[in-house]
Amino acid sequence: MDKSCHVEPKETTVDFTQLNSDYTAYFGVQGMGCPNCVTRVKNGLLELEGVHIAAVYLHENVAGVVYDPHTNSTEELEEAIFNAGNDGRHLYQSQLLRVIESPTILND
Protein backbone atom coordinates (compact mmCIF):
# COMPACT_ATOMS: atom_id res chain seq x y z
CA MET A 1 0.00 0.00 0.00
CA ASP A 2 1.41 3.35 -1.08
CA LYS A 3 1.37 5.74 1.90
CA SER A 4 1.46 8.73 -0.45
CA CYS A 5 -2.03 7.90 -1.71
CA HIS A 6 -3.58 7.62 1.78
CA VAL A 7 -7.17 8.81 2.08
CA GLU A 8 -9.24 9.25 5.24
CA PRO A 9 -12.54 7.35 5.34
CA LYS A 10 -15.70 9.43 5.33
CA GLU A 11 -17.65 8.94 8.54
CA THR A 12 -21.40 8.45 8.18
CA THR A 13 -24.34 7.41 10.29
CA VAL A 14 -27.39 5.65 8.96
CA ASP A 15 -30.91 6.77 9.80
CA PHE A 16 -32.72 3.49 9.18
CA THR A 17 -36.06 5.28 8.76
CA GLN A 18 -34.65 6.74 5.52
CA LEU A 19 -34.16 3.28 4.03
CA ASN A 20 -37.85 2.44 3.52
CA SER A 21 -37.95 3.32 -0.18
CA ASP A 22 -34.26 2.81 -0.98
CA TYR A 23 -32.83 0.59 -3.69
CA THR A 24 -29.57 -1.35 -3.66
CA ALA A 25 -27.23 -1.29 -6.67
CA TYR A 26 -24.18 -3.46 -7.22
CA PHE A 27 -21.35 -2.39 -9.52
CA GLY A 28 -18.32 -4.18 -10.84
CA VAL A 29 -15.38 -1.83 -10.26
CA GLN A 30 -12.08 -2.01 -12.12
CA GLY A 31 -8.86 -0.15 -11.30
CA MET A 32 -8.71 -0.58 -7.53
CA GLY A 33 -5.34 -1.80 -6.30
CA CYS A 34 -5.26 -1.32 -2.54
CA PRO A 35 -7.39 -0.53 0.53
CA ASN A 36 -6.91 3.20 -0.14
CA CYS A 37 -8.67 2.73 -3.47
CA VAL A 38 -11.55 1.06 -1.65
CA THR A 39 -11.81 4.03 0.72
CA ARG A 40 -11.62 6.49 -2.18
CA VAL A 41 -14.50 4.77 -4.04
CA LYS A 42 -16.59 4.42 -0.87
CA ASN A 43 -16.05 8.09 0.02
CA GLY A 44 -16.99 9.15 -3.50
CA LEU A 45 -20.30 7.32 -3.23
CA LEU A 46 -21.05 8.55 0.29
CA GLU A 47 -20.52 12.16 -0.80
CA LEU A 48 -23.67 11.96 -2.91
CA GLU A 49 -26.85 13.15 -1.23
CA GLY A 50 -29.25 10.23 -1.07
CA VAL A 51 -26.57 7.56 -0.67
CA HIS A 52 -27.12 5.98 2.73
CA ILE A 53 -24.76 2.98 2.76
CA ALA A 54 -21.80 2.05 0.58
CA ALA A 55 -19.58 -0.99 0.81
CA VAL A 56 -16.64 -1.70 -1.50
CA TYR A 57 -14.82 -5.02 -1.76
CA LEU A 58 -11.31 -4.95 -3.21
CA HIS A 59 -10.80 -8.64 -3.96
CA GLU A 60 -14.24 -9.08 -5.49
CA ASN A 61 -14.05 -5.77 -7.43
CA VAL A 62 -17.58 -4.94 -6.32
CA ALA A 63 -19.29 -1.92 -4.79
CA GLY A 64 -22.74 -2.10 -3.20
CA VAL A 65 -24.78 1.05 -2.61
CA VAL A 66 -28.04 1.60 -0.74
CA TYR A 67 -29.51 4.79 -2.19
CA ASP A 68 -32.66 6.82 -2.71
CA PRO A 69 -33.71 6.26 -6.35
CA HIS A 70 -35.61 9.57 -6.31
CA THR A 71 -32.36 11.41 -5.56
CA ASN A 72 -29.79 9.39 -7.55
CA SER A 73 -29.70 7.39 -10.74
CA THR A 74 -27.39 4.46 -11.32
CA GLU A 75 -25.61 6.63 -13.90
CA GLU A 76 -24.85 9.20 -11.18
CA LEU A 77 -23.52 6.44 -8.93
CA GLU A 78 -21.26 5.21 -11.74
CA GLU A 79 -20.04 8.76 -12.29
CA ALA A 80 -19.22 9.07 -8.58
CA ILE A 81 -17.11 5.90 -8.81
CA PHE A 82 -15.28 7.28 -11.84
CA ASN A 83 -14.76 10.70 -10.24
CA ALA A 84 -13.38 9.08 -7.06
CA GLY A 85 -10.28 8.16 -9.00
CA ASN A 86 -10.14 10.81 -11.68
CA ASP A 87 -7.04 12.46 -10.25
CA GLY A 88 -4.46 11.61 -12.90
CA ARG A 89 -3.12 8.79 -10.76
CA HIS A 90 -6.14 6.54 -10.22
CA LEU A 91 -8.71 5.49 -12.78
CA TYR A 92 -11.78 3.55 -11.72
CA GLN A 93 -14.36 2.20 -14.10
CA SER A 94 -17.62 0.56 -13.15
CA GLN A 95 -20.42 -1.43 -14.65
CA LEU A 96 -23.87 -1.84 -13.17
CA LEU A 97 -24.39 -5.48 -12.23
CA ARG A 98 -27.77 -5.48 -10.51
CA VAL A 99 -30.41 -3.28 -8.91
CA ILE A 100 -32.66 -4.56 -6.13
CA GLU A 101 -35.76 -2.51 -5.42
CA SER A 102 -35.29 -2.63 -1.66
CA PRO A 103 -32.55 -1.72 0.78
CA THR A 104 -30.15 -4.54 1.44
CA ILE A 105 -27.83 -4.07 4.38
CA LEU A 106 -24.31 -4.85 3.24
CA ASN A 107 -21.67 -6.49 5.40
CA ASP A 108 -18.56 -4.37 5.42
The model's pLDDT over 19-67, given as tens digits with 9 standing for 90+, comes to: 888 999 999 999 999 999 999 999 999 999 999 999 999 999 999 999 9
Position 3 scores a pLDDT of: 56
Pick the CATH number of 21-53+67-93 from 3.40.50.300, 3.30.70.100, 2.60.40.640, 2.40.110.20: 3.30.70.100
Q: Where are the beta strands (DSSP E) in 20-91?
A: 23-30, 51-57, 62-67
What is the C-alpha separation between 33 and 36, in angstroms, rounded?
8
Does residue 108 surpass a pLDDT of 60?
A: no
**Nearest by Cα to 67 from 25, 27, 38, 106:** 25
pLDDT tens digits for range 69-101? 999 999 999 999 999 987 778 899 999 999 999
Does residue 2 surpass a pLDDT of 60?
A: no
The pTM of this model reads 0.85
